[in-house]
Each structure stands twice: as C-alpha cells, then as structure tokens.
Structure 1
Amino acid sequence: MSDLFGGDVPSTPNEQFEDRPLADRLRPKTLEEVVGQDHLLGDDGVLTRMIKAGRLGSLIFWGPPGSGKTTVARLLADQVDYHFHQISAIFSGVADLKKTFELAKQMRANGKKTLLFVDEIHRFNRAQQDSFLPVMEDGTIVLVGATTENPSFELNAALLSRAQVLSFKSHTHEAAEQLIARAEELEARKAPLDAEARRALYEMADGDGRALLGLLEEVYAATGEDEVLDQKALEALVQRRAPVYDKGQDGHYNLISALHKTIRGSDPDAALYYLSRMLVAGEDPMFIARRLIRMAVEDIGLADPQALPQCVAARDAFHMLGTPEGELALAQAAVYLALAPKSNAVYNAYNNAMRVAKTTGSPTPPKVILNAPTKLMKSEGYGDGYQYDHDAPDAFSGQEYFPEKLGRQTFYEPVERGFERDLQKRIDYFKRLRLKRQTGKS
C-alpha cells in the first residue's frame, strides 16, 4: 500500500473540516490507510519489516509528486513514537539546519528521538548535505529525505551510504480508483463522470494522487446533483494537465533513453510511442533530431549508410515545415532507424582507435607518406618511395600507413548485417591485395 499524496496538514487546528481541500480531508491517518505502495507498506513491505524489527534507520524516499512521501514520513514517526520535524530544502539554509539540529539534541536529552523529514533534499548543496552526517551518525536524528530526482545523481555518496533509498511509485489506475471511491464516500455522492471521463481523469492526474483529488474536487464543485460529465466536458472544465516531465531532470533522460533503446531494439511501435511522449511533454524537436542523428551513427552506422542522411533530412525538414507538420519527419526517421539493420562496428572502431591514440604516445608516421616541402626534409627521405594509388593496379598500392613503432592495427570489424556484409568483402579483398603487394604472395 502506498500513500496517495504528500504535503503538510493544515496549520490551523480549528479550521473547519469542510473547508479543507479534499486531498487533505482524505489524508491517511494510519499507515494501513495508505494506498498504492504495497511494496513498502504491505505485509511484506520494507517499511513494515523495519517497524516490526524495531530498527528504523535513515531513509531517502524517491518518487514522483503526489505519491505520498510526506504523509508516509509523518505516519512513520507516529508509528515509532518519534518527534516529527519537517523542513524544506527550498526555504532552509545553514542557520535553519543548525537550529533544527539543536532542537533535535534537546529532544534527545529529554528522551525523545527526532525523525527529521527534509522535503526536496536534492536542493541542498554538497556542504549542506554533509552537515547531516554527524547528527545521523551520533543518533541525534533519523533522517527521511524526499526527492523526485534520482538520488544517485543528486545526493552525496557519503549521505547515500548512511541511508536506505526507498522508491515510491506513481499511482496506478487501481490505486486511483481507491482514492475516488474514498472521495465518493466522503462526499456521499458518486463522482459525476461517465466511464470515459473517469479514465480521462486518471490520465490527467498522471499518477499523482494529490492532483487526482484536486481535479475531482473541481468536478464536484462545478456540477449539479444529477449532472454527469463526458470526457469532452471534463477536459473543457479542468483543462488537460501536462504529463510530469522536466526537460532538465529525470523524465527528460528517462524518455530519451527509452526512445534510444527501442530503436536499438528494432521496435518501431515503441519508438513512435516514446517519441510521441516527448513531443506531448513539450520536448524541443531539435533535441530529438540531434539524438536521432546520434543513434544513426552509433547503432546503425554503415550497416545502412542511408540512416544518417535520413536523420539529417528529417532535421532539415522540420526546420522548413515547423510544427506540427515537421514532427512527421522525425517520426519517419525514428521508424527508419528502428527497422534498419543494426551495427555498432564503427562506434567500437572509433573508441578503440581513440584508446590506442591516447595510450601509445606520438610515433611518427612512415616517411613514405609525409610531404617534403623543404630541401632538408627531402634529403631526410620524406616522401621517398611513395606510390600514388591511382597509378597502381586496382588503384591499390598496398603500402603500410601505420607508424613502424606501432605496427598494423585492426579497429573496424563489420558485422554480417546490411551493407556491412559488402564492406567486409572489400576489407578481405584489400587484405589479400596488401599481402600480395607486400610479400609477393597471393
């Protein structure tokens, strides 16, 4: 079970229950009421086992907005009888942290442990994150940090080594249906939506329980007792909420990674889906075009020499057509790449050549292929014996071009797919000719 939404409880105790937002009125009062995070709070959940064992260590809650991170932290403190203290990394500085740690020390002296919940913990800089380490190690606080960003990239290794990362999941349709059912019971009224509108509401919330209840509250407020909205009327009423996607953060990198891997995996339908997801979320089409070009040279290469021109043409077509017509050119390129024969032979060859270039110093190329612009260089043998390949039989001299100190190297090894099968035949042909020219053996 997982909590459906996060956030703070009202700060005014005397506030009328009916005046509070629906999401707040439905906030779980115990961990058993939390829905959607069974992997954490079910009978065999990680947090359930921690509570039973009586060993609650520092934790990092990683998950999307509205998945219940704040609520679970608050209920967790109640469950183990810790003092709950909450701060936000957005509004707190070094002075606030010092006051918080001092308060926790006082609570500890009075026999009460503190669960310090830090919202948006990834917003703290490295020095601020390091300041938690001493008070975590001496038991002054049990830290529960919440983040929507990948902790591996956003949190210090020292902090991560002292805390267990728990992943919160977006709400599924099943979890969202439980929320709506609770709202219907609280409001003593069926949600005024037909089946299609109800499904559309799930999609608009995009897995965010708090957003789902906020949208449902708008629907209740705007409809009469017997009124039922269809999907079109729902969208006109609440507008469409954009999917969770931050072009500078996880959503951005997750979707481009998905697009790249589905193209590499030769699945045009999945590629079109992730391409569409990115466009719907407002991704810059030129970013997509650049990534498609990269995929063409990394994953297709010379197995299909037309892959790169297709992607460059798609980029140019988008520049000419603009939106929304230009997106079709990107879609065509994505499908072409997905269905093209795959080869990373050039990619691997380049990386191997770079490795050798970086690790073998600066051996001089053979003098035979060096120009001799001065008399001194000519007298030193620069250019002596060079054979002009166009004058040689088969336009191939078979000369050795690698530095003598390095010796002949092989970097490019074509695969047995697409055009690279023909390229392998050419390589084998020139290899035989080279052996014949250099040794006289056929």
Structure 2
Amino acid sequence: MADLFGNDAPPAPAREDAPRDDAPLADRLRPRTLDEVIGQEHLTGPEGAIGRMVNAGKLSSMILWGPPGTGKTSIARLLADAVGIRFVSISAVFSGVADLKKAFAEADRMAQAGQKTLLFVDEIHRFNRAQQDGFLPFVERGTVTLVGATTENPSFALNAALLSRAQVLILERLGHDALEALLARAEALESPLPLTPEARTALIASADGDGRFLLGQAETLYNAGLSEPLDPQALAKFLQRRVAVYDKDRDGHYNLISALHKSLRGSDPQAALYYLARMLTAGEEPLYVLRRLVRFASEDIGLADPQALTQCLTAKDAYQFLGSPEGELAIVQACLYCATAPKSNAAYAAQKAAFKAARETGSLMPPANILNAPTKLMKDIGYGAGYSYDHEAEEGFSGDNYWPEGIEPQTFYEPVERGFERKVRERIAYWDRLRAERENTHDPRI
C-alpha cells in the first residue's frame, strides 16, 4: 500500500530490545516486563487499569500523564509486548504531519494483514490542535491503539475530542523506596555506589521523583572512578545543584501558585513560605508573585487588616528598588504578613454581589435628593431637593436614602468578627440603628 504521498510506505523501524553494552545506564536497566516497572503498581498491578487490560488481552487508547522519568515510554513498549501487537514510536518534538501520515498508512497496511499497531506518541502535547485532530479517524477505526505520553495536564494540553477517545492514566512521581530499588538494580549491574549512607539518601532526594535523572547521576559517579565514598557535602560539590522542575507558563506554575494562595488563606506561614521559595528558586518572575500577593491582600484579608495591602505594595516597591536577591526578602515579609493576618473575604463577596446587582439594575436613576443641580432647570425639576448635608446633622449622620427608586436597599458588604473588620461591623451596626431611628420620625424618600 502506498502512503498519502504516493510512495511505498517504508517498514517500521526494528525494535532494539537489547541495548548495547555502552548504552546509558538508564537504557540498560529498562524493565523487560510490566512486572519490573517500579513505582507504578497502581496501574500495572492486577487491579490497575493497565493490569486489567493486559489480562483481558485488549488495549484501549490511553494518555500516560506523569512527571519526567516515571516510566511512560517503558510502559508503552511493554504494553505492546504484553498483548503481542506491533510497536511504533514517534516523538512530537521531532515529527511532523508527514511522519504521522506515514505511520498511519503503514498501520493501515498492517491492519489489512491482520497485525494491530500500538502507536506511541511521546510529548503528544507538543502537537497543535489541528495535528491532534488528525489522530481521531485512525483511533476511531481502530487502525492504531494510541498511547500518548505527556508531562502536561491533558485537560489543558490536549483536544477534548482526543481525550474523549482515550483513557487518561496518571503516573506518580517515584517515591524514596522506588528510587532506592532503582539504585539497587544499578548496583547489581555495576558495583556499589561510592557513597556514605547519608549521601545515598541525599542523592535519592535530589532526583525529585525522576528515575532517569537518578540513574544519570549514578552513572556519573561510576564514570568518575572514585576511590573513597562521598559524604553529602562532597556529593553536592561533585554533582552540583539540580534546578527544580518548573514550567513557568504551564501546569507546575498554576499548581504552585494555587498551593501558595491556599496556604496563605489557611494561615499556614510555614507552608506559604515553602511554596514561595519553590517558585522563586525555580526562576518564577518575582513581580508575578507580588501581583498575586496584592490580589490576596484584597481578596482574602480585605479590611480585616487594611495594612496587608500596604505591606504588599511596599514589598513591590522594595523589590523594584533592590532587585534580586536582596529584594526577595521584602516578598518574604509580605508573604508572612498575609499568612499571619486575620482573614476576611467580605470585600470580595461584596464586589461580586454589587457587580451582579449593577448589571441587573444598571439603568435606574439615583434619587433626586443626591443629584447635583448646577443649572436652574435641574433645580426646578427637583435635583438636590431635600438633601441633608451629613456634617451638619446630629452625630454627623443624616440617615438619607441613597438608593434608586425601583430597588430596595441591599446588603452587599457584611464584615466579619475578625481583625479590624470587627470595628467596621460595629460602625455599620451603629449607623443602621441611627437610620432606623430616623425612619421612625420621617420618610427619608423626600
């Protein structure tokens, strides 16, 4: 069968199940069966989604979503082996539409010969929406069983139409025990690592759940031919510092800012400072964090502590004056102030309620008594008539009506019994009492 360009479709590249002796350690330690996959037993075990598919001998299209180095590629290869179907792999980083057309044409030809194809697409989120749509007819017809791998949240990175035809399976970051088991496999293949027990623990922690990274670091240690075991300080100096995994415009960005916001709202200064540090050490733009702190000061603190907004704006000024790293201390101070301040979302709730009422009643005229009357005509038709100047009223409060005809007085802002808002609540209650007393003596709608 010819491909979509009229050429004979080339045969699929051969699988290289046996890595060369000089291959990277991570390749030489790739699992050979699903049972050997470490850290994803919730998927590969008998009760897991992948385990059930393999036991049934029938695969569904799926998206493997998880951090780097958690076994996505290995699982895809082993799935094809487990059910006895052809495996084809492409990467969205290096492939384009022509490569996809060739892969689908070859899968069509093999399907007619009775051979099913598992098409593994690494970094599938890098294909644009139109390219993702190109998968749909082939997945629907069963030409291929699609297995996509992504480190990005599929809800944001993939088409809804594609997601509806594939099961999303979440791979977990590798925990300490899983990473320890990987190191044990490496040592069984090579030799014990030249590390003290404390340095070994530090090496595992530095991997941040990434098995491929851990094996790469272990290979670096083997290649160095060290004669004496390294302690944690010597290990850190030898391997240098690993930059945190963090995409400033992707899922990690939103996860961490959400964690920071909720830690602040929950009045946990320690957790808030941790997430702030995570963001700043990973390279987040400090002014972005400051903008979120300013928003938090209004949304979640408000008048419970009016100084919170001032603290955040002052931190912005200090950071712009000093720059990094000195100015980051001002951001920390603002973060801690917000975390330890009394909380109230009364202003935020009041804004939403008032804006809703304004949209629904936006054409109503304010009452004539509070309208200015700069011309004789306006005075003649009643503008400003009966207005009471509050400073001349008893207790500096006239109790006038300020609401348009056609809408009853509303309560949008309800201060809480916390922080400075307790005083605000007392003031509003005092004015409400005075207003009620005046309503008993005269009609305010004059």
Q: Do the structures match in fold with TM over 0.5? A: yes
Distance 2:18 2:75 in 1: 23
Instruction: Establish whether residue 152 from structure 1 lines up as the match of residue 155 from structure 2.
Output: yes
Q: Tell me the residue number matched to 2:65.
A: 62
Call closer, same or farther: CA 1:256–1:156 in 2, change over 3 Å: same
Distance 1:243 1:70 in 2: 22
For residues 2-60 of structure 1, the C-alpha deviation after alignment (integer angstroms, 9 at most, x for no partner) is xxxxxxxx989699732111111111111111101111112322210121133421101
Q: Tell me the residue number matched to 1:204.
A: 206
Q: Secondary structure at the match of 1:245?
A: coil
| RMSD (Å), alpha carbons | 2.0
Q: Tell me the residue number matched to 2:108.
A: 105
For residues 224-243 of structure 1, the C-alpha deviation after alignment (integer angstroms, 9 at most, x for no partner) is 3x321122222222211111
Distance 1:14 1:107 in 2: 21
For residues 158-211 of structure 1, the C-alpha deviation after alignment (integer angstroms, 9 at most, x for no partner) is 111111111111111111111111111101x11011122222222332211111
* 246-255 or 364-373, which deviates more: 364-373
Q: 1:114 aligns with which of 68, 93, 117?
A: 117
Q: Tell me the residue number matched to 1:292.
A: 293
In the TM superposition, 1:419-430 aligns within 5 A as 419-430=420-431
Call closer, same or farther: CA 1:307–1:16 in 2, change over 3 Å: closer
Q: Tell me the residue number matched to 2:267.
A: 266
Q: Tell me the residue number matched to 2:416.
A: 415
Call closer, same or farther: CA 1:14–1:366 in 2, change over 3 Å: closer
* Counterpart residue type for residue 90 of structure 2: I
Shift of 1:350: 0.3
Shift of 1:370: 1.8
Q: Tell me the residue number matched to 2:222.
A: 220
* 8 Å Cα contact 2:58-2:83 kept in structure 1: no
Distance 1:423 1:314 in 2: 26
Q: Tell me the residue number matched to 1:195.
A: 197
* Counterpart residue type for residue 373 of structure 2: A
* Counterpart residue type for residue 112 of structure 2: A
Instruction: Establish whether residue 317 from structure 1 lines up as the match of residue 291 from structure 2.
Output: no
* 8 Å Cα contact 2:19-2:27 kept in structure 1: no
* Counterpart residue type for residue 321 of structure 2: M
Q: Secondary structure at the match of 2:313?
A: helix
Distance 1:177 1:58 in 2: 32
Distance 2:86 2:75 in 1: 14
Q: Tell me the residue number matched to 2:168.
A: 165
Which 4+ residue blocks in structure 1 deviate beyond 4 angstroms? 10-16
Shift of 1:275: 1.3
Distance 2:257 2:44 in 1: 32
* 8 Å Cα contact 1:66-1:208 kept in structure 2: yes
* Counterpart residue type for residue 50 of structure 2: L
Q: Secondary structure at the match of 1:382?
A: coil
Instruction: Establish whether residue 48 from structure 1 lines up as the match of residue 60 from structure 2.
Output: no
TM-score by length of 1: 0.93
* 8 Å Cα contact 1:114-1:142 kept in structure 2: yes
* 41-50 or 72-81, which deviates more: 41-50
Distance 1:63 1:266 in 2: 31
Q: Tell me the residue number matched to 2:398.
A: 397
* 8 Å Cα contact 1:435-1:441 kept in structure 2: no
Call closer, same or farther: CA 1:203–1:16 in 2, change over 3 Å: closer
Shift of 1:436: 2.3
Distance 1:121 1:20 in 2: 26
Distance 1:170 1:78 in 2: 24
Distance 2:410 2:58 in 1: 59
Shift of 1:145: 1.0
* 8 Å Cα contact 1:299-1:342 kept in structure 2: yes
Shift of 1:254: 0.9
* 8 Å Cα contact 1:204-1:242 kept in structure 2: no
* 8 Å Cα contact 1:28-1:34 kept in structure 2: yes
* 8 Å Cα contact 2:293-2:335 kept in structure 1: yes
Call closer, same or farther: CA 1:206–1:14 in 2, change over 3 Å: closer
Q: Tell me the residue number matched to 1:32.
A: 35
In the TM superposition, 1:57-136 aligns within 5 A as 57-136=60-139
Shift of 1:429: 1.0
* Counterpart residue type for residue 219 of structure 2: E
In the TM superposition, 1:169-184 aligns within 5 A as 169-184=172-187
* 8 Å Cα contact 1:136-1:142 kept in structure 2: yes
For residues 327-372 of structure 1, the C-alpha deviation after alignment (integer angstroms, 9 at most, x for no partner) is 2222222222122111111100101111111223421111222222
The sequence identity of aligned pairs, in percent, is 63
Q: Tell me the residue number matched to 1:378.
A: 379
Distance 2:296 2:111 in 1: 56
Distance 2:167 2:402 in 1: 56
Call closer, same or farther: CA 1:14–1:182 in 2, change over 3 Å: closer
* 8 Å Cα contact 1:193-1:229 kept in structure 2: yes
TM-score by length of 2: 0.92
* 8 Å Cα contact 1:113-1:141 kept in structure 2: yes
Shift of 1:69: 0.5
Shift of 1:373: 2.9
Q: Secondary structure at the match of 2:27?
A: helix
